[in-house]
Each structure stands twice: as C-alpha cells, then as structure tokens.
Amino acid sequence: MTPTLFEIRFGVRDYECDAQGIVNNANYLHYLEITRHAFCEARGTSFRAMHEAGIDPVVRKIEIEYLNSLTMGDTVLASLDVRREGARYLFIQEIRRASDGAIAARATVTVVVLEDGRLSRGDAVAQMLGID
Amino acid sequence: MTPTLFEIRFGVRDYECDAQGIVNNANYLHYLEITRHAFCEARGTSFRAMHEAGIDPVVRKIEIEYLNSLTMGDTVLASLDVRREGARYLFIQEIRRASDGAIAARATVTVVVLEDGRLSRGDAVAQMLGID
Amino acid sequence: MTPTLFEIRFGVRDYECDAQGIVNNANYLHYLEITRHAFCEARGTSFRAMHEAGIDPVVRKIEIEYLNSLTMGDTVLASLDVRREGARYLFIQEIRRASDGAIAARATVTVVVLEDGRLSRGDAVAQMLGID
Amino acid sequence: MTPTLFEIRFGVRDYECDAQGIVNNANYLHYLEITRHAFCEARGTSFRAMHEAGIDPVVRKIEIEYLNSLTMGDTVLASLDVRREGARYLFIQEIRRASDGAIAARATVTVVVLEDGRLSRGDAVAQMLGID
C-alpha cells in the first residue's frame, strides 16, 4: 500500500545512472533520505536545526526491495509514512515512476534518536514533527 | 558470525563523509558493491564480462543494519559469504573497522540473475564463480 | 556577468555536503551537468536522444572558480550561456545562492561533439539546440 | 610532463561509470582529492588533523582537461606536484590509465589556506607538508 502521509516529486539525474543505464542501487538511499529530509522541512524543522538542538536522528536499519528500474528522463514520486515502535521510528517509503505509477522500490527505514549523543526515547523528534 | 569466504581492505575516502562527519549511509551500498565485484574478479570474471556474455546479476533486495559509524582516516575490512536459495543468491556481507574490529554494518544482499534479459535459475553465474 | 540564456533552481541535498559542512567541490560538476542537461530538455532534446541518434557531446575541459560555499538548506540558481568556437561549444555557467545572490561558482565548460564516435564540427547539436 | 612528487594507484569502481560506460567527469575531482589527501597522509598529516589545528585548505579553482576516458576494470595512476605562488598552492595533477600509460586527465588545482577561518599566507601548511 502506497504511503500517503508525504510525497515529493523530482527527476532522475543522468549521473545517477550507472553503466547498466539504470539508477545505481546506492542512489535509492539518497532518494529515501531526501524524502525524509523534505518531510522534516515540511513540518518546519531540518536535520541541521535538530542537530543544533542536540538531537540527531540516526539510521539503524534499512530494508529495501528493488522492483522496477529507473532510468534517464524518468520522474520519481517518493512518498512516506512514519510510525513509532518504542524508541524507534519506522519510515515506510516507496519510490514510484511517475509516468506509469510502477513501484521502483519499497523500503522500511528504522531510525533512532540520539539526544546529546545518547540514545533517547525520541520524544523530542515526535514533537518537532507532529507525530503521535 | 563474520563472513570468511572473501575479504578486501580499503580506506574511507574523505568525500564519503557527510556533514555529521561520518560515512553517509548510501556509501555503504557502494562498499558492499565493490566487495561483491572484487569477489567476482578474484574468481576470474567481472560484471562487464558477464554482461557481455548476456548475464546480468541484479540486486533484488538489501537488508542492512548500521551498528557503528565510520569516519575519515578509518580503514575498512569488507567480507562476504554467498549461498544459493533456489534462483536467488544471498550475499552475507559485513563491514568492519580495521583498527578495532568493530562491526560497522551487517547486510544481506539478494541477487537474481537475468540471462538475455529474462530471469534465470542463475546456473551460469554459479559456474563462473565456482559456487555450488 | 551572470549568464541569462537558461536558468534552473534546485535545493542543496544534505548528502552533498561533506565533513566540512559544505557542498563538496566535485558535486558542483554535477550541478553544472544537470543545468546543461535541463537546457537540452528545454530545447526539446536530451543526452539519451542525442546518443540514440549517434551524437555524443563530450566534456573536454572544465575551468571552475569556487567563490562562496553552499551548505545544507541552501537553494541554488544555476544559469548558463553557450557559444560556439570552431568545433567547440563553450558553456559559460554560474551557480548562485538564491537567498542573497552570492556567486558560489563560475565555470567555463568546453564540449566537443562526437558523431558515430568521431570528432565532428558539432553542427547537428547546434541545430537540435537552436544555437547559431 | 607527468608530476613525480607523489603517486598512488587504485582501481576504477564500477559505480563511478555513468550510462556512457565511462567514469563520470565529476568523479575525476574525487580522484584528484584522494590523491591530495593521500599525499598529506604520506607527509604525516591529514585534513582532519589540520582542521583540528584550525587550518583549512580550501579549493579555490580547478582547471581540468579530459583527454582519454576511463572505464570499468581500469587501474588508475594518479600523481601530483605542488608549488607555492604567493599565498596559493598549485597542485599539478595527472590521472593516467595504468595499462598503457595514456593520460586520462590533467589538472591544476589552486588551494588557499584558512587559519581560524581567515585567509592566511599558508605557511603552516608548507611546514606540515615539508614544502619550500
């Protein structure tokens, strides 16, 4: 089920494609990251602002399935949902090809939150992002 | 348990670190990829040679856990094991910090094999890599 | 003098910043490239379409001056002019910080054109891009 | 004339090649950077160590000519010379293909030195690197 909480749209950059002519799998993690960061900005904060407040979200785990490849000229729709599980944030993310809606990748990204360098329950982030 | 079939050693490149001063999580996928590709070369083949023979290994899924961060000046030990499960290859990979042996990341990378563009059982790759 | 033929606007991506907290100098070449490629698309073509027609623009030389750094959260204005000098295309490019108009970098990118793998006068590209 | 003060050797990483099958031009700046940083380490210092001492070398200008392309499987020889011109350091750098010695790129990289955030004459760096 496509996440619906937040979505951005952007174009594949030609240099992101490798010699197979498709977006290299590492670049999908960049796509996932810019989606999460854009979500933070849409909620009125940023990784820099959080860092300056002593709050550092840290990626602990990523599970990503690659289903269809993306290539030069493609437009990408990247969406996410987020939910808390104890001290962890789970970002449910999806990357689709805009032209036909095909799912390029599905991912679950587990994030924990350091406060002043120590693992926390992450309540500060929930408050900043307006998450229950 | 640290994989023991194959291991390479290389240095963190300064530009791989992001504004937090640590290797950005997307670059770990590069580390995993160069380890798999170096393994292929050690077995006498390469992604280019396979591609020219109509054989294209494709990453279908990656699960990666980030346990300790890497930073400028670190030397990396990257090791792998591989086993087949039906038509899939599972690469069990680990990235360690050479100085103290700390595990930076653990990953399982699932690869399928296209032959002439179609999903295959992957026997050609097993033969090229000397895998049972 | 700021180039005025074509301009795009995009945000710095956090992962483009290195441990100094600023956009790594190699990423400016990506910015220059996406600006040239977006210009081609605005003119109704693309690097892929040109390649499929046997036409390959190739970067021969880049001169770039770094004047002010860019950082997380910055919006970028990237503009270009282009002129021909014999068989060469000179792209005059500029990267500015949107917030205050400060010039982050100025570059001249020299491109030659291969047709069917051989150096050409580049007339095919001039025609496709509507350049005199 | 090939620079002879310092040289390193490393392999092209497959992901550094773009859809044209050759190393993307932005990655050459990474090659230049890792050569300069390896040179610093060979002289007993590092960018991190300099930064911690309040000394920040900053790239001001790069001129790079692309002469032959590099591709998957290539081994690279990257060498440099350095000389001072007033408050500037000029790194004369060359990237060659090991198999046949062909020059892939020639570059001049101009670096200035900030001390505690202010432009300096750069004497501290000359001393650390053992440069006249």
pLDDT at residue D130, as a whole number: 86
| Interface with chain A: mutation pick from D12, D17, D18, highest number of A CBs within 10 Å | D18
Residue D128 Cα, gap to closest chain C Cα (Å): 20
- The angle subtended at Cα A47 by Cα A46 and Cα A53, nearest 5°, is 95
| pLDDT tens sequence across B7-57 | 999 999 999 999 888 999 999 999 999 999 999 999 999 988 998 899 999
Q: Is C11 in contact with A28 (CB distance < 8 Å)? A: no
Residue C124 Cα, gap to closest chain A Cα (Å): 21
Q: Which fold has domain A6-129?
A: Thiol Ester Dehydrase; Chain A (3.10.129)
**Largest Cα–Cα distance of chain B, in whole Å?**
45
Q: Amino acid letter at B79?
A: S
Q: Is B62 in contact with B107 (CB distance < 8 Å)? A: yes
Listed in sequence order, the DSSP H helices in B13-130 are 25-42, 47-52, 123-129
**Phi/psi-derived region of residue A85, left when phi > 0, alpha when psi is between -120 and 50, beta in every other case:** beta
Residue B19 Cα, gap to closest chain A Cα (Å): 9
In this complex, do B34 and D46 lie within 8 Å of one another by their Cβ atoms?
no
Place of tokens 């094999």: B113
Q: Amino acid letter at C61?
A: K
pLDDT at residue B112, as a whole number: 96
In this complex, do A72 and C30 lie within 8 Å of one another by their Cβ atoms?
no
Q: Is A101 in contact with A95 (CB distance < 8 Å)? A: no
Token pair of C41 as six digits: 């698309």
Run of H or E residues at A25: helix A25-42
| pLDDT tens sequence across C30-69 | 999 999 999 999 999 998 899 889 999 999 999 999 999 9
Whether the predicted pLDDT of D132 surpasses 80: no
Residues of B in contact with A58 (CB under 8 A): 66
Q: What is the Cα–Cα distance from A47 to A57, expressed in whole angstroms? A: 8
Tell me phi and psi for residue B120, to 5 degrees: -125, 175
Run of H or E residues at A132: none
In this complex, do B46 and D13 lie within 8 Å of one another by their Cβ atoms?
no
Sign of CA dihedral A64, A65, A71, A74: negative
Angle between helices A25-42 and B25-42 (to 10 degrees): 180
In terms of residues, how long is chain A? 132
| pLDDT tens sequence across B64-86 | 999 999 999 999 999 999 999 99
Q: Is A27 in contact with A16 (CB distance < 8 Å)? A: yes
Listed in sequence order, the DSSP H helices in chain C are 25-42, 47-52, 123-129
**Phi/psi-derived region of residue C50, left when phi > 0, alpha when psi is between -120 and 50, beta in every other case:** alpha
Residue-wise pLDDT tens for chain A (132 aa)?
899 999 999 999 999 999 888 999 999 999 999 999 999 999 999 988 998 899 999 999 999 999 999 999 999 999 999 999 999 999 999 999 999 999 999 999 999 999 998 999 999 889 888 887
Task: Point out which residues pair with C81 in neighbouring strands.
Answer: C92
pLDDT band at D48 (very low <50, low <70, confident <90, very high): confident
Of B20, B30, B65, the CB nearest to A60: B65
Query: Could you tell me what percent of chain C has a pLDDT over 90?
Result: 82
| pLDDT tens sequence across C66-100 | 999 999 999 999 999 999 999 999 999 999 999 99
Residue C58 Cα, gap to closest chain A Cα (Å): 14
Q: How far is CA C50 from CA C55, C66, C102, D48, in A?
A: 5, 31, 34, 44
Predicted model pTM: 0.95
Residues of C in contact with D59 (CB under 8 A): 25, 66
Token pair of B89 as six digits: 């290859």
Run of H or E residues at A86: none
Sign of CA dihedral B121, B122, B124, B128: negative
Q: Is D9 in contact with D16 (CB distance < 8 Å)? A: no
Residues of B in contact with C70 (CB under 8 A): none
Residue D15 Cα, gap to closest chain B Cα (Å): 7
Token pair of B50 as six digits: 């396979």
Q: Which chains touch A (3 or more CB pairs under 8 A)?
A: B, C, D
Run of H or E residues at D127: helix D123-129
Closest CA to D57 of D67, D70, D66, D48: D48
Range D111-123 average pLDDT: 93
| pLDDT tens sequence across D3-27 | 999 999 999 999 999 988 899 999 9
Q: What is the Cα–Cα distance from B79 to D102, expressed in whole angstroms? A: 33
pLDDT at residue B1, as a whole number: 82
| Interface with chain C: mutation pick from D23, D24, D28, D29, highest number of C CBs within 10 Å | D29
Whether the predicted pLDDT of C131 surpasses 90: no
Q: Amino acid letter at D118?
A: R
pLDDT at residue B19, as a whole number: 87
In this complex, do D14 and B33 lie within 8 Å of one another by their Cβ atoms?
yes
